Structure 1
Amino acid sequence: MIPWEQRNRRRTLRDRIATRLALTAGYVLARQPARRLRRIMERLSRGARPATRAETQAAVDSVLSASLPMHGLKACLPRSVSVALRCRLRGTWPTWCTGVSRSLPPAAHAWVEADGEPVGEGDGDRGEFAFVKMLVVAPRDERTYGTARTRS
């Protein structure tokens, strides 16, 4: 996490507005039931190219620089949704994940990944990141999945 005193204050107005929009939508979407949130996130991921680690880290930094509450322990869901939305505003999509810890007591967590690795989750040591993925929304290419669905 970014110490609040070291947050990036030299962001452009366009970046600030886009980040605020993503934060607002992230807070709203995080209050939705899990099934609805998954459907919304899947729709938003359509047609986006996969985000690189650098692009995802830039979105994480932007979200954390714009909002002090996003640094909290219970803010992982709105933070991860906001980061995914911030990436989507740039035409990319990270892999958005939710899951539970492998250790006791079980704890829920939400995060974003790029190139198969969590982004913005501490020191980057994969061994310390011990969560089992329960829900994954990866970037979807419309050319691969198609846009039309047929009803049976």
Structure 2
Amino acid sequence: MSTTVHPLGYRVQARVAIAVARMLIMLSPDRLAAVLSRFCRGAVHASARDAGEARDLVCALSRRCAGQGCLQRSVAVVILCRLRGSVPDWCAGFALHPFTAHAWVEVDGLPIGEPGKVSTYQVVHAARVRPRPVKPG
């Protein structure tokens, strides 16, 4: 985890993101993916650095997110990044042998703060950044 000292406002935003994520993860997987897709619509892609900093802060402020709470952690990171002006892609999926379910964020197809094996997981749900189309003229 990062030893960066974050301004109070950023820590408050992170706590809000963690609380909102805690409520959102009660939704069905399909509904959660739909809500996050709408939330990501028209956003700017987050950089790996921004997503990593958001992940580090969420983990520093929440034991659940730092531990086995991958769903809440990944949703909180998306929310926190969006509050800061950009969004990473959100994914949820699984691996076989042994069966493992997981949720994570990624930038440019690379999982942020996750073991490399996560990139081989089968994605079942995702909320990907789709920038707003540019209007002609």
**TM norm structure 1:** 0.81
Question: Structure 1: which amino acid aligns with 2:43?
Answer: A
Structure 2 unaligned spans of 5+: none
Please identify runs of 4+ aligned residues in structure 1 that moved more than 6 A. none
**What is the aligned counterpart of 1:51 among 46, 54, 63?**
46
**What is the aligned counterpart of 1:11 among 1, 6, 22?**
6
Question: Structure 1: which amino acid aligns with 2:110?
Answer: E
Q: For the residues of structure 1 that align with 2:26 and 2:35, how far apart are their CA atoms?
A: 12
Equivalent pairs, count: 134
Say yes or no: does 1:134 pair with 2:124: yes
**What is the aligned counterpart of 2:108 among 105, 112, 115?**
115
Q: For the Cα contact (< 8 Å) 2:34–2:127, is it kept in 1? A: no
% identical equivalent positions = 33
After superposition, give the CA deviation of every residue in 1:76-126 in whole Å (9 maximum; x if it has no partner).
10000000111111111101000011322x22110000121000114xxx3
The structure with the largest alpha-carbon Rg is 1
Structure 1 unaligned spans of 5+: 147-152
**TM norm structure 2:** 0.89
Say yes or no: does 1:83 pair with 2:73: no
Question: Structure 2: which amino acid aligns with 1:116?
Answer: G
Question: Structure 2: which amino acid aligns with 1:82?
Answer: A
